Amino acid sequence: MKTVSLPFLVAILLGAHAASGASWTLITSPNANNQSNELHGVSAAAENDAWAVGTVYTDNSFTKSRTLIEHWDGTRWAVVRSPNTTASINILEAVAAVSTNDVWAVGLGITGFSTTPIIEHWNGVAWSIIANPGTTVGSLAGVAVVSANDVWAVGTGVTGDEDSTLTLHWNGAAWSLIPSPNVGPEVDNSLAGVTAIASDDVWAVGTQQPTSLTAPHTLTLHWDGSAWTIVPSADTSQTTANHLLAAAGATSDDVWATGRRIHTDHHRRQQSVFRRCGCAGEQQCVGGRPILSEFAQSLPYPDGAMERLDLEQREQPEQRQLAQPAQRRHRHSGWNALGRRHLLQQPGHRADAHPAKVTLRDLGRPCRDRGC
Protein backbone atom coordinates (compact mmCIF):
# COMPACT_ATOMS: atom_id res chain seq x y z
CA MET A 1 0.00 0.00 0.00
CA LYS A 2 1.40 3.35 -1.03
CA THR A 3 1.36 5.96 1.70
CA VAL A 4 0.63 9.60 0.99
CA SER A 5 0.68 12.65 3.19
CA LEU A 6 -2.67 13.94 4.35
CA PRO A 7 -3.41 17.64 4.65
CA PHE A 8 -6.79 16.64 5.96
CA LEU A 9 -8.98 13.61 6.49
CA VAL A 10 -12.67 13.34 5.70
CA ALA A 11 -15.37 10.84 6.58
CA ILE A 12 -18.46 10.04 4.56
CA LEU A 13 -21.85 9.07 5.89
CA LEU A 14 -24.74 7.80 3.82
CA GLY A 15 -27.86 9.39 5.25
CA ALA A 16 -30.38 7.25 3.42
CA HIS A 17 -30.74 4.66 0.69
CA ALA A 18 -29.44 6.12 -2.59
CA ALA A 19 -32.39 4.69 -4.48
CA SER A 20 -34.70 6.98 -2.54
CA GLY A 21 -32.97 10.02 -3.97
CA ALA A 22 -30.64 10.75 -1.07
CA SER A 23 -27.03 11.64 -1.76
CA TRP A 24 -23.68 11.36 -0.02
CA THR A 25 -22.60 14.09 2.36
CA LEU A 26 -19.06 14.96 3.36
CA ILE A 27 -18.61 15.00 7.13
CA THR A 28 -15.39 16.45 8.50
CA SER A 29 -13.42 14.32 10.93
CA PRO A 30 -10.52 15.21 13.21
CA ASN A 31 -6.88 14.27 12.81
CA ALA A 32 -4.83 12.92 15.68
CA ASN A 33 -1.84 15.05 14.63
CA ASN A 34 -0.51 17.00 11.66
CA GLN A 35 1.19 13.96 10.13
CA SER A 36 -0.44 11.33 7.90
CA ASN A 37 -3.82 10.13 9.26
CA GLU A 38 -5.49 7.13 7.60
CA LEU A 39 -8.85 5.41 8.11
CA HIS A 40 -9.03 1.83 6.82
CA GLY A 41 -12.33 0.39 8.10
CA VAL A 42 -15.75 1.43 9.39
CA SER A 43 -18.66 -0.24 11.21
CA ALA A 44 -21.87 1.05 12.76
CA ALA A 45 -23.96 -0.33 15.61
CA ALA A 46 -26.58 2.40 15.08
CA GLU A 47 -27.09 5.69 13.24
CA ASN A 48 -25.53 7.50 16.18
CA ASP A 49 -22.89 4.90 17.00
CA ALA A 50 -20.23 4.22 14.38
CA TRP A 51 -16.52 3.45 14.51
CA ALA A 52 -13.69 4.08 12.05
CA VAL A 53 -10.18 2.68 12.49
CA GLY A 54 -6.79 3.15 10.90
CA THR A 55 -3.37 4.51 11.74
CA VAL A 56 -1.63 7.83 12.38
CA TYR A 57 2.05 8.27 11.62
CA THR A 58 4.15 10.08 14.17
CA ASP A 59 7.12 11.02 11.98
CA ASN A 60 7.80 12.23 8.45
CA SER A 61 9.70 9.08 7.50
CA PHE A 62 6.65 6.80 8.01
CA THR A 63 8.64 4.46 10.24
CA LYS A 64 6.50 4.94 13.35
CA SER A 65 2.74 4.98 13.77
CA ARG A 66 0.06 4.30 16.34
CA THR A 67 -3.49 3.05 16.06
CA LEU A 68 -6.20 5.55 15.17
CA ILE A 69 -9.83 5.06 16.26
CA GLU A 70 -12.63 7.56 15.75
CA HIS A 71 -16.25 7.44 16.95
CA TRP A 72 -19.42 8.94 15.45
CA ASP A 73 -22.10 9.92 17.99
CA GLY A 74 -24.68 11.02 15.45
CA THR A 75 -23.39 14.58 15.39
CA ARG A 76 -19.64 14.50 14.97
CA TRP A 77 -16.55 12.32 14.72
CA ALA A 78 -14.08 12.31 17.62
CA VAL A 79 -10.73 10.60 18.17
CA VAL A 80 -10.92 7.97 20.92
CA ARG A 81 -7.86 6.85 22.85
CA SER A 82 -6.63 3.44 21.68
CA PRO A 83 -3.78 1.18 22.85
CA ASN A 84 -0.69 0.15 20.89
CA THR A 85 1.72 -2.76 20.87
CA THR A 86 5.49 -2.41 21.19
CA ALA A 87 5.82 -2.57 17.39
CA SER A 88 7.21 0.45 15.57
CA ILE A 89 4.14 0.67 13.34
CA ASN A 90 0.61 -0.07 14.61
CA ILE A 91 -2.19 -0.28 12.04
CA LEU A 92 -5.88 -1.18 12.43
CA GLU A 93 -7.36 -2.49 9.19
CA ALA A 94 -10.96 -3.39 10.06
CA VAL A 95 -13.65 -2.98 12.71
CA ALA A 96 -16.94 -4.77 13.46
CA ALA A 97 -19.58 -3.72 15.99
CA VAL A 98 -21.62 -6.32 17.85
CA SER A 99 -23.37 -3.68 19.96
CA THR A 100 -22.72 -0.33 21.60
CA ASN A 101 -20.60 -1.99 24.29
CA ASP A 102 -19.01 -4.70 22.16
CA VAL A 103 -16.80 -3.72 19.22
CA TRP A 104 -13.79 -5.48 17.68
CA ALA A 105 -10.90 -4.03 15.67
CA VAL A 106 -8.04 -5.93 14.05
CA GLY A 107 -4.80 -5.07 12.29
CA LEU A 108 -1.07 -5.55 12.51
CA GLY A 109 2.11 -4.37 14.16
CA ILE A 110 5.27 -3.96 12.09
CA THR A 111 8.85 -3.92 13.34
CA GLY A 112 11.48 -4.21 10.64
CA PHE A 113 10.41 -7.13 8.45
CA SER A 114 8.28 -8.79 11.14
CA THR A 115 4.52 -8.47 11.53
CA THR A 116 2.28 -9.47 14.42
CA PRO A 117 -1.54 -9.55 14.56
CA ILE A 118 -3.34 -6.91 16.63
CA ILE A 119 -6.77 -7.48 18.18
CA GLU A 120 -8.49 -4.71 20.14
CA HIS A 121 -11.86 -4.61 21.92
CA TRP A 122 -14.24 -1.87 23.06
CA ASN A 123 -16.26 -2.70 26.19
CA GLY A 124 -18.29 0.49 26.29
CA VAL A 125 -15.71 2.34 28.38
CA ALA A 126 -12.28 1.85 26.82
CA TRP A 127 -10.35 0.04 24.11
CA SER A 128 -7.92 -2.70 25.15
CA ILE A 129 -5.61 -5.17 23.43
CA ILE A 130 -6.88 -8.75 23.65
CA ALA A 131 -4.42 -11.63 23.84
CA ASN A 132 -4.23 -13.85 20.80
CA PRO A 133 -2.83 -17.25 21.79
CA GLY A 134 -3.42 -18.65 18.32
CA THR A 135 -0.49 -17.00 16.58
CA THR A 136 2.11 -14.31 17.12
CA VAL A 137 3.15 -14.03 13.46
CA GLY A 138 1.25 -12.48 10.59
CA SER A 139 -1.39 -9.80 10.15
CA LEU A 140 -5.16 -9.40 10.33
CA ALA A 141 -7.12 -7.54 7.66
CA GLY A 142 -10.80 -8.39 8.21
CA VAL A 143 -13.25 -9.03 11.04
CA ALA A 144 -16.91 -10.09 10.99
CA VAL A 145 -19.51 -10.73 13.67
CA VAL A 146 -22.22 -13.38 13.91
CA SER A 147 -22.95 -12.75 17.59
CA ALA A 148 -21.17 -11.70 20.78
CA ASN A 149 -19.70 -15.20 21.13
CA ASP A 150 -19.11 -15.86 17.43
CA VAL A 151 -16.60 -13.52 15.77
CA TRP A 152 -14.16 -14.19 12.93
CA ALA A 153 -10.90 -12.42 12.05
CA VAL A 154 -8.89 -13.23 8.92
CA GLY A 155 -5.55 -12.26 7.47
CA THR A 156 -2.16 -13.59 6.50
CA GLY A 157 0.05 -16.02 8.40
CA VAL A 158 3.31 -17.79 7.61
CA THR A 159 3.84 -21.47 6.85
CA GLY A 160 7.43 -22.35 6.06
CA ASP A 161 8.68 -19.86 3.49
CA GLU A 162 5.24 -18.96 2.19
CA ASP A 163 2.38 -16.73 3.27
CA SER A 164 -0.71 -18.66 4.32
CA THR A 165 -4.35 -17.99 5.12
CA LEU A 166 -5.00 -17.03 8.74
CA THR A 167 -8.41 -17.47 10.40
CA LEU A 168 -9.07 -16.76 14.08
CA HIS A 169 -12.31 -17.32 16.00
CA TRP A 170 -13.73 -15.74 19.16
CA ASN A 171 -16.08 -17.99 21.16
CA GLY A 172 -17.04 -15.44 23.77
CA ALA A 173 -14.13 -16.26 26.06
CA ALA A 174 -10.96 -16.51 23.97
CA TRP A 175 -9.51 -16.29 20.48
CA SER A 176 -8.25 -19.48 18.86
CA LEU A 177 -6.53 -20.40 15.62
CA ILE A 178 -8.79 -22.33 13.24
CA PRO A 179 -7.09 -24.36 10.48
CA SER A 180 -7.72 -23.00 6.99
CA PRO A 181 -6.68 -24.39 3.59
CA ASN A 182 -4.19 -22.94 1.14
CA VAL A 183 -3.53 -23.24 -2.56
CA GLY A 184 -0.10 -24.72 -3.04
CA PRO A 185 2.64 -25.64 -3.01
CA GLU A 186 4.82 -22.63 -3.82
CA VAL A 187 1.89 -20.24 -3.58
CA ASP A 188 1.52 -17.33 -1.17
CA ASN A 189 -2.03 -17.20 0.22
CA SER A 190 -3.59 -14.22 1.98
CA LEU A 191 -7.06 -13.19 3.19
CA ALA A 192 -8.19 -9.57 3.15
CA GLY A 193 -11.92 -9.63 3.93
CA VAL A 194 -14.59 -11.69 5.67
CA THR A 195 -18.37 -11.63 6.00
CA ALA A 196 -20.43 -13.72 8.44
CA ILE A 197 -24.02 -14.54 7.55
CA ALA A 198 -24.56 -17.30 10.14
CA SER A 199 -22.54 -19.58 12.39
CA ASP A 200 -22.34 -22.11 9.56
CA ASP A 201 -22.05 -19.64 6.70
CA VAL A 202 -18.95 -17.44 6.63
CA TRP A 203 -17.01 -16.26 3.57
CA ALA A 204 -13.40 -15.07 3.46
CA VAL A 205 -11.75 -13.61 0.37
CA GLY A 206 -8.21 -12.78 -0.66
CA THR A 207 -5.42 -13.56 -3.10
CA GLN A 208 -3.28 -16.51 -4.18
CA GLN A 209 0.12 -15.47 -5.52
CA PRO A 210 2.43 -18.10 -7.07
CA THR A 211 5.98 -17.66 -5.80
CA SER A 212 7.07 -17.79 -9.46
CA LEU A 213 5.65 -14.24 -9.59
CA THR A 214 3.10 -15.08 -12.28
CA ALA A 215 -0.23 -13.26 -12.13
CA PRO A 216 -2.04 -13.62 -8.77
CA HIS A 217 -5.62 -14.91 -8.69
CA THR A 218 -8.62 -14.47 -6.44
CA LEU A 219 -9.02 -16.74 -3.41
CA THR A 220 -12.33 -17.58 -1.74
CA LEU A 221 -12.88 -19.69 1.40
CA HIS A 222 -16.17 -20.82 2.96
CA TRP A 223 -16.91 -21.93 6.54
CA ASP A 224 -19.78 -24.42 6.88
CA GLY A 225 -19.77 -24.64 10.66
CA SER A 226 -17.17 -27.40 10.76
CA ALA A 227 -14.31 -26.53 8.43
CA TRP A 228 -12.97 -24.02 5.93
CA THR A 229 -12.84 -25.09 2.28
CA ILE A 230 -11.60 -23.40 -0.88
CA VAL A 231 -14.41 -22.45 -3.27
CA PRO A 232 -13.48 -21.75 -6.91
CA SER A 233 -13.87 -18.07 -7.72
CA ALA A 234 -13.78 -16.21 -11.00
CA ASP A 235 -10.95 -14.04 -12.26
CA THR A 236 -11.55 -11.14 -14.61
CA SER A 237 -8.52 -12.28 -16.61
CA GLN A 238 -5.88 -14.99 -16.42
CA THR A 239 -3.12 -12.59 -17.47
CA THR A 240 -3.80 -9.67 -15.12
CA ALA A 241 -3.37 -9.56 -11.35
CA ASN A 242 -6.68 -10.28 -9.60
CA HIS A 243 -7.26 -9.50 -5.93
CA LEU A 244 -10.31 -9.79 -3.66
CA LEU A 245 -10.17 -7.33 -0.79
CA ALA A 246 -13.61 -7.27 0.86
CA ALA A 247 -16.83 -9.29 1.15
CA ALA A 248 -20.41 -8.71 2.30
CA GLY A 249 -23.37 -11.08 2.51
CA ALA A 250 -27.01 -10.06 2.45
CA THR A 251 -28.31 -13.65 2.70
CA SER A 252 -26.81 -17.12 2.42
CA ASP A 253 -27.42 -17.18 -1.33
CA ASP A 254 -26.54 -13.56 -2.05
CA VAL A 255 -22.91 -12.72 -1.30
CA TRP A 256 -20.70 -10.00 -2.76
CA ALA A 257 -16.94 -9.71 -3.02
CA THR A 258 -15.02 -6.70 -4.23
CA GLY A 259 -11.53 -6.17 -5.47
CA ARG A 260 -9.25 -4.96 -8.19
CA ARG A 261 -7.25 -6.15 -11.14
CA ILE A 262 -3.86 -4.74 -12.06
CA HIS A 263 -2.77 -4.88 -15.68
CA THR A 264 0.55 -6.38 -16.69
CA ASP A 265 2.18 -2.97 -16.89
CA HIS A 266 1.49 -2.66 -13.12
CA HIS A 267 0.25 0.91 -13.56
CA ARG A 268 -3.43 0.48 -14.44
CA ARG A 269 -5.94 -0.72 -11.87
CA GLN A 270 -9.43 -1.75 -12.91
CA GLN A 271 -12.66 -2.26 -10.99
CA SER A 272 -13.76 -5.87 -10.48
CA VAL A 273 -17.29 -6.90 -9.53
CA PHE A 274 -18.33 -10.42 -8.55
CA ARG A 275 -21.57 -11.82 -7.18
CA ARG A 276 -22.79 -15.21 -6.01
CA CYS A 277 -26.51 -15.90 -5.62
CA GLY A 278 -28.94 -18.77 -5.82
CA CYS A 279 -28.92 -19.08 -9.58
CA ALA A 280 -26.28 -19.87 -12.19
CA GLY A 281 -24.72 -17.22 -14.37
CA GLU A 282 -21.91 -16.61 -16.81
CA GLN A 283 -18.76 -14.79 -15.88
CA GLN A 284 -18.13 -11.52 -17.63
CA CYS A 285 -15.44 -8.91 -17.17
CA VAL A 286 -16.48 -5.59 -15.70
CA GLY A 287 -15.98 -2.51 -17.85
CA GLY A 288 -15.68 0.30 -15.36
CA ARG A 289 -13.22 3.13 -15.34
CA PRO A 290 -9.66 2.77 -14.03
CA ILE A 291 -9.23 3.51 -10.35
CA LEU A 292 -6.43 4.35 -7.94
CA SER A 293 -7.63 2.96 -4.66
CA GLU A 294 -7.27 0.47 -1.85
CA PHE A 295 -10.55 -1.28 -1.06
CA ALA A 296 -12.16 -1.25 2.34
CA GLN A 297 -15.67 -2.57 2.99
CA SER A 298 -18.98 -3.54 1.40
CA LEU A 299 -22.37 -2.74 2.90
CA PRO A 300 -25.57 -4.67 2.03
CA TYR A 301 -29.08 -3.21 2.09
CA PRO A 302 -32.15 -5.29 3.01
CA ASP A 303 -33.48 -5.05 -0.57
CA GLY A 304 -30.34 -6.62 -1.99
CA ALA A 305 -28.64 -3.47 -3.23
CA MET A 306 -25.03 -2.97 -2.26
CA GLU A 307 -22.81 -0.05 -1.35
CA ARG A 308 -19.01 0.13 -1.39
CA LEU A 309 -16.98 2.15 1.07
CA ASP A 310 -13.44 2.78 -0.03
CA LEU A 311 -10.24 4.57 0.75
CA GLU A 312 -9.13 6.28 -2.43
CA GLN A 313 -5.65 7.54 -3.07
CA ARG A 314 -5.19 10.73 -5.06
CA GLU A 315 -1.90 12.01 -6.42
CA GLN A 316 -2.95 15.67 -6.79
CA PRO A 317 -3.46 16.96 -4.23
CA GLU A 318 -1.86 14.40 -1.90
CA GLN A 319 -4.56 13.05 0.34
CA ARG A 320 -6.42 9.87 1.19
CA GLN A 321 -10.20 9.93 1.18
CA LEU A 322 -13.13 7.61 1.58
CA ALA A 323 -14.74 6.57 -1.68
CA GLN A 324 -16.78 3.74 -3.15
CA PRO A 325 -15.76 1.85 -6.30
CA ALA A 326 -15.98 -1.92 -7.10
CA GLN A 327 -17.93 -5.09 -6.36
CA ARG A 328 -18.19 -8.82 -6.96
CA ARG A 329 -21.10 -11.05 -6.20
CA HIS A 330 -21.34 -14.73 -5.33
CA ARG A 331 -23.91 -16.97 -6.97
CA HIS A 332 -24.83 -20.16 -5.18
CA SER A 333 -23.53 -22.30 -8.05
CA GLY A 334 -20.49 -20.17 -8.82
CA TRP A 335 -18.89 -16.73 -8.77
CA ASN A 336 -19.55 -14.33 -11.63
CA ALA A 337 -18.38 -10.87 -12.58
CA LEU A 338 -20.98 -8.12 -12.72
CA GLY A 339 -21.09 -5.66 -15.56
CA ARG A 340 -24.15 -3.60 -14.57
CA ARG A 341 -23.10 -0.71 -12.43
CA HIS A 342 -23.86 2.92 -11.72
CA LEU A 343 -21.35 5.54 -10.69
CA LEU A 344 -22.71 8.47 -8.72
CA GLN A 345 -20.37 11.45 -8.56
CA GLN A 346 -19.91 12.81 -5.06
CA PRO A 347 -20.30 16.53 -4.35
CA GLY A 348 -17.48 18.83 -5.31
CA HIS A 349 -15.32 16.31 -7.15
CA ARG A 350 -14.56 15.35 -10.74
CA ALA A 351 -14.38 11.80 -12.06
CA ASP A 352 -11.84 12.28 -14.82
CA ALA A 353 -8.06 12.55 -14.42
CA HIS A 354 -8.09 12.18 -10.65
CA PRO A 355 -11.18 10.18 -9.65
CA ALA A 356 -12.47 11.12 -6.22
CA LYS A 357 -15.48 9.96 -4.23
CA VAL A 358 -17.89 7.77 -6.15
CA THR A 359 -20.75 5.47 -5.23
CA LEU A 360 -21.11 2.18 -7.07
CA ARG A 361 -24.55 0.62 -7.06
CA ASP A 362 -25.73 -2.55 -8.76
CA LEU A 363 -28.78 -1.57 -10.82
CA GLY A 364 -30.03 -5.11 -11.19
CA ARG A 365 -32.85 -6.53 -9.09
CA PRO A 366 -32.00 -8.40 -5.88
CA CYS A 367 -30.72 -11.90 -6.47
CA ARG A 368 -33.96 -13.58 -5.40
CA ASP A 369 -35.95 -11.51 -7.92
CA ARG A 370 -33.81 -12.03 -11.00
CA GLY A 371 -35.95 -14.85 -12.29
CA CYS A 372 -33.07 -17.17 -13.13
Residue 15 near residue 25 (C-beta atoms within 8 A): yes
pLDDT tens for each residue of 57-104:
998 889 999 999 999 999 999 999 999 999 999 999 999 999 999 999
pLDDT at 256: 86
pLDDT at 238: 65
Per DSSP bridges, beta strands 217-223 and 228-230 are antiparallel
Digitized pLDDT (tens) for each residue of the chain, 372 residues in all: 323 223 233 333 443 344 445 678 889 999 999 999 999 999 999 999 999 999 999 988 899 999 999 999 999 999 999 999 999 999 999 999 999 999 999 999 999 999 999 999 999 999 999 998 777 899 999 999 999 999 999 999 999 889 999 999 999 999 999 999 999 889 999 999 999 999 999 999 999 998 877 888 899 999 999 999 999 887 766 667 888 999 988 788 888 888 877 755 555 554 455 655 544 333 333 333 333 344 444 444 444 444 444 433 333 333 333 333 334 445 445 655 554 333 333 443 333 333 333 333 333 334 443 333
How many Å apart are CA 342 and CA 41, to the nearest integer? Answer: 23
Which run of H or of E encompasses 78? strand 77-80
pLDDT tens for each residue of 133-168:
777 899 999 999 999 999 999 999 999 889 999 999
In terms of Cβ atoms closer than 10 Å to its own Cβ (0-12, 13-18, 19+), residue 135 is middle
In terms of Cβ atoms closer than 10 Å to its own Cβ (0-12, 13-18, 19+), residue 265 is exposed
31-123: in CATH 2.60.40:
no
pTM for the whole thing? 0.76
pLDDT at 265: 54
Q: How many of the other CB atoms lie within 10 Å of CB of 268?
A: 13
How many Å apart are CA 290 and CA 355, to the nearest integer? Answer: 9
CA 78 to chain centre: 22
pLDDT at 324: 33
pLDDT at 254: 84
pLDDT at 258: 85
* Best CA proximity match to 326, nearest among 315, 334, 337: 337
pLDDT at 4: 29
pLDDT at 239: 63
DSSP track, 283-304: -------B--EEEEEEEE-TTS
